[in-house]
């Protein structure tokens, strides 16, 4: 993997390469941006470059360091990820132990901490101490989609780099060219993921994504038509896909957003579910205030699930509300 393999983020990448050339690379970064936007890919490319034996502003991809990095067994590269949704103190203790020893093969040691907003209080405070005076051979890259949850004292000690969404046209081009998606499918995924290139790649590789979308549209259709059994008969679908509930609820939100646009504005070019206009037309008799209320209820359901409210109860309540039951 290389900087050249990354779509978008040219300004960020050029800034990092310039810092490498000027020997002004920071000891500690925060890569901030939406989930799946490309932060981790850039972090990996930077780590590989800094460990490369050629010491250029891009990895050479042929030295022993680059080959080991690509093989996932470089002794001077460390990735820390949350354990059961928390970065735990023993992980930071392991990081501190590694920081105190010199690199084995390279001139640097690189540490990437993914989802760094998931420190608990103890691990955050312990990590803070490592940022005060890191050894000269250490570079730390924090990755976060929610930096407001990181201690301000940590944020004050890192250089923040903000990642912006990749342009819609470039995402569509990637999906049609490299993933064989139809233009219609590519446009929907690009809109749905809002320029998060990692999410777009993931959905393009998921053969069942459009099946799930169709199932959700059928559920909505039944609920709005007054099928009183649909709320309960659909629960199995939601239990089966519990691990991707955010995706499912985002499809719900996008549908009712489109329904509101179709009803109030009638501008088809603003609609994302363009291939389902016949369904939107059939549902356009729904009152606009009710559509707004449904959108609010779906968002509340997302928030409640994040707060660990009973999952099945939250979904059941939402479905009953959409069905007006």
Do the strands 109-113 and 159-162 form a parallel or antiparallel pair, or are they unpaired? unpaired
Domain encompassing residue 196: 167-206
Q: Both 19 and 139 in a single domain?
A: yes
Residue 34's closest CA among 4, 9, 68, 69? Answer: 9
pLDDT at 226 (0 to 100): 85
pLDDT at 130 (0 to 100): 86
Q: Both 16 and 157 in a single domain?
A: yes
Name beta bridge partners: 83: 86
Q: Both 155 and 217 in a single domain?
A: no
The residues near 159 (Cβ < 8 Å, ≥ 6 apart) are 26, 28, 29, 30
Give CA 291 to chain center in angstroms: 28
Name beta bridge partners: 87: 119
pTM of the predicted protein model: 0.86
Q: Both 179 and 116 in a single domain?
A: no
CB 31 within 8 A of CB 147: no
Of 104, 131, 162, the one marking the end of a domain is 162
Dist CA 186 CA 224 (whole Å): 28
Q: Both 244 and 279 in a single domain?
A: yes
pLDDT at 227 (0 to 100): 86
Which domain CATH number covers 232? 1.20.272
Which domain CATH number covers 114? 3.40.50.300
Q: Both 149 and 59 in a single domain?
A: yes
Q: Measured at the alpha carbon of residue 240, what is the angle toward residues 239 and 243, in degrees to the nearest 5?
A: 85
Q: Both 149 and 18 in a single domain?
A: yes
b/e burial code for range 107-120 (CB count within 10 A of at least 16 → b): ebbbbbbbbbbbbe
Number of domains comprising the chain: 3
**Taking the chain, what is the end-to-end CA distance rounded to the nearest angstrom?**
52
Q: Both 223 and 112 in a single domain?
A: no
Q: Measured at the alpha carbon of residue 24, what is the angle toward residues 23 and 30, in degrees to the nearest 5?
A: 135
Rounded to a whole number of angstroms, the CA Rg of the chain reads: 23
Of 102, 134, 162, the one marking the end of a domain is 162
Q: Which two tokens stand for residue 118?
A: 């998931």
The residues near 213 (Cβ < 8 Å, ≥ 6 apart) are 251
Name beta bridge partners: 30: 142, 160
Q: Both 43 and 189 in a single domain?
A: no
Q: Both 183 and 222 in a single domain?
A: no
| Residuewise pLDDT in 10s, the chain (325 residues) | 789 999 999 999 999 999 999 999 999 999 999 999 999 999 999 999 999 999 999 999 999 999 999 999 999 999 999 998 999 999 999 999 999 999 999 999 999 999 999 999 999 999 998 888 889 999 999 999 999 999 999 999 999 999 999 999 999 999 999 999 999 999 999 999 998 999 999 999 999 999 999 999 999 999 998 887 888 999 999 999 999 999 999 999 999 999 999 998 877 788 999 889 999 999 999 999 999 999 999 999 999 998 889 999 999 999 999 998 7
Q: Both 101 and 135 in a single domain?
A: yes
Of 162, 191, 220, the one marking the end of a domain is 162
pLDDT at 268 (0 to 100): 78
Dist CA 141 CA 27 (whole Å): 8
Q: Both 110 and 56 in a single domain?
A: yes
């Amino acid at each position: 993997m290389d900087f050249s393999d990354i779509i978008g983020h040219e300004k960020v990448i050029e800034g990092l390469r310039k810092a490498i050339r000027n020997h002004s690379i920071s000891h500690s970064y925060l890569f901030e941006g939406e989930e799946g936007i490309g932060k981790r890919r850039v972090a990996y490319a930077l780590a590989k470059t800094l460990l490369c034996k050629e010491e250029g502003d891009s990895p050479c991809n042929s030295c022993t360091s680059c080959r080991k990095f690509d093989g996932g067994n470089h002794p001077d590269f460390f990735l820390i990820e949350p354990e059961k949704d928390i970065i735990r103190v023993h992980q930071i203790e392991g990081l501190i132990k590694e920081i105190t020893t010199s690199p084995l093969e390279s001139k640097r040691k690189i540490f990437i901490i993914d989802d760094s907003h998931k420190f608990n209080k103890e691990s955050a405070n312990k990590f803070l101490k490592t940022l005060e005076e890191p050894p000269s051979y250490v570079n730390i890259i924090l990755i976060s989609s929610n930096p407001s949850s990181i201690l301000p004292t940590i944020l004050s000690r890192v250089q923040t780099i903000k990642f912006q969404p990749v342009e819609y046209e470039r995402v569509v081009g990637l999906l049609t060219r490299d993933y064989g998606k139809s233009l219609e499918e590519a446009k929907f995924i690009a809109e749905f993921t809002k320029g998060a290139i990692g999410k777009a790649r993931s959905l393009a590789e998921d053969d069942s994504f459009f099946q799930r979308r169709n199932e959700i549209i059928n559920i909505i259709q039944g609920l709005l038509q007054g099928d009183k059994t649909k709320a309960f008969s659909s629960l199995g679908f939601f239990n089966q896909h519990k691990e991707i509930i955010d995706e499912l609820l985002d499809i719900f939100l996008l549908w009712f957003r489109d329904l509101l646009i179709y009803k109030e504005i009638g501008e088809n070019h603003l609609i994302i579910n363009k291939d389902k206009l016949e369904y939107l037309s059939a549902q356009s008799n729904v009152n606009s205030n009710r559509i707004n209320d449904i959108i609010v209820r779906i968002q509340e359901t997302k928030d409640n699930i994040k707060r660990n409210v009973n999952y099945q109860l939250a979904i059941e309540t939402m479905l009953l509300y959409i069905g007006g039951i």
